[in-house]
Structures are given as C-alpha cells and as structure tokens.
Amino acid sequence: MKKSIPSIILTVILFAIWQVIAMRMNASYILPSPIEIVKKIWELRDVLFTVHLPATMGVTSLGLVISIVLGLFLAIIMDLNEKIESALYPVIIASQTIPTTAIAPLFVLWFGYGIWSKVLVTILITFFPITITVYDGFKSTKREMEELLTTYGATKKDIFIKLKLPSALPYFFSAIKMAVPLSIIGAAIAEWLGAQSGLGYFSKRMMTQLDGAGVFAPVVVLSVVAMVLVGIIGIIENALIKWRKEI
C-alpha cells in the first residue's frame, strides 16, 4: 500500500488539474470535467453496464482466449524447431506493421457486423506480445540446467515440460498483463469502426451527439475494467510464482 501512495497522489493532482482546466474552459463537449464524466457514468449506468460492457467483454474475452492459445502455440513451435522459428518470426513481426485501424473496416467487409470481425481485430493486436514474450521465456532457460537434465538422459519433451514451461511461467503472466489491456483496446477499436453494440460503439455514438462526457464515460469504464483485471492477474501471479526472483 505504501508503494502506491506516490502514484495515488500524482493521479489526484492530475485529476484536480483536469477539473480546473475543464471548469475554466467551460465547454464540456470538448473537454468534460472528471466530475461530469462520473455523473454521466451514473446516469448511463444501465445501458453502459448491462448492454455495452457485456458486448465488449464478450469480444475481449473471446479475442484474448484465442490470442493466448495462438500465442502459446506459435511460441512453442518456434522454440521446438529452428526452421519454423526462422520462417515464422519475421512474419509475426510483419503482422504488427499492419495499421490495425486501417484494416479493421476490411474485416467488417469480410465478416460483417457480427462478433468475428471484432474478435479478429482483437487477436491481431493481442497475440503478438503473448507470442514474443512467452517465446523469450522459453529461450531464457539456463543452458546449465538444460545440460544437467540432458546428463540425466532427458528427452526434448522432458526438458520442455520440466524446465522450459515452468521457467516461462513468469513471462506468460507478464504477457497476459500486457495482453489484457491490449485486447480491450482492440475490441474498442473494432467496435468504433463497425458495430451495433459495445463500449467503443457507444463512445462513437456519443461523439456524433457532441456529448463529451458521454464519449469519456465508456473509455473510463474500459480503463477501470482493464486495471481491475490486471490487478487480479497480478494477485494470481504472486500466489503461483513465489520463486520469480530466484531465477
């Protein structure tokens, strides 16, 4: 708790400055004050939390699960086979040079306004950090430990299960902590570009109505959800990996 005091103080100061500037500007369609945003969230709580948040979370969780499976699969096959690694690695890097916001409408064109176009955008943004971080985790295992297992007669599979998987676990959690906010951003972007529900879609609709606080309200909800999820993952990580510092 003591550790978070400086960040809490800084956040309060930033919100206070924001509040003062917004009150001075007195143009909530351009810059609504934090208090106006909180009020707006309260006013719109029904539609935000029962309609749009579940829609966004549906896209996010589906995209995240597929990204984790895909990311782990790519990391594992790249670690197991050097040829696959040299073939895949550049392609994976190249996939990140695609401007997602530009390609997202194309997905809508291909897959329609249903959930899959948005899930695809989410995957495109999210699988990358999982693949690369977990792959780095596999590569981070100590050579001496690998050799020790080899002297016991370990096969590649033994080394992978007994050494590489546990060694990569801290990296996996780091990847998930990066991936959760990214998957939420991905889902929101996708909804912004073409959807019938979701917090991204709602934010866009509020913009067309020049409702500044209404634009911010779903964004704040998304940020809070992301922070809570990352916090929960952090707690699970600390409970599971008490040995992290000893690697």
Partner 1 sequence: MLEFKDVTFKYAEDDFYMMKDLNFSVKKGEFVSLIGQSGCGKSTILRLINGLEKPEKGEILIDGKNINTLKDYCAFMPQKDLLFPWRTIEKNLCIPMEIKGVPKKDMHKKCVNVLEEVGLLDYIDKYPKDLSGGMKQRVSFARTILAGSDIMLLDEPFSALDSLTRMDMQEWLLKQWKHFGKTIIFITHDVEEAVFLSDAVYIIQDRPFKDMERVEIPEQYPKSREFLKRPDIVALREELIKKLRNRREEQ
Binding site for partner 1 (CB under 8 A): 142, 144-145, 147-154, 158, 162-163, 166, 169, 241-243, 246-247
Is the separation of the CB atoms in 122 and 64 below 8 Å?
yes
Question: Taking the complex as a whole, how short is the minimal distance between the CB of residue 146 and partner 1, in angstroms?
Answer: 10
Question: Taking the complex as a whole, how short is the minimal distance between the CB of residue 100 and partner 1, in angstroms?
Answer: 37
Helix, strand, or coil (residue 198): coil
- Closest CB to partner 1 among 123 and 163? 163
Question: Taking the complex as a whole, how short is the minimal distance between the CB of residue 158 and partner 1, in angstroms?
Answer: 5
Of the candidates 203, 193, 191, the residue with the CA atom closest to the CA atom of residue 106: 193
Question: Taking the complex as a whole, how short is the minimal distance between the CB of residue 169 and partner 1, in angstroms?
Answer: 8
- Rounded CA-CA distance 179/75 in Å is 15
How many Cα atoms occupy the beta-carbon half-sphere of 101 within 13 Å?
Answer: 5
- Closest CB to partner 1 among 81 and 150? 150
- Closest CB to partner 1 among 22 and 169? 169
Is the separation of the CB atoms in 72 and 196 below 8 Å?
no
The H or E element that residue 72 is part of is helix 53-80
- Closest CB to partner 1 among 138 and 216? 138
Question: Taking the complex as a whole, how short is the minimal distance between the CB of residue 167 and partner 1, in angstroms?
Answer: 8
By CB atoms closer than 10 A (0-12, 13-18, 19+), residue 137 is buried
- Closest CB to partner 1 among 83 and 143? 143
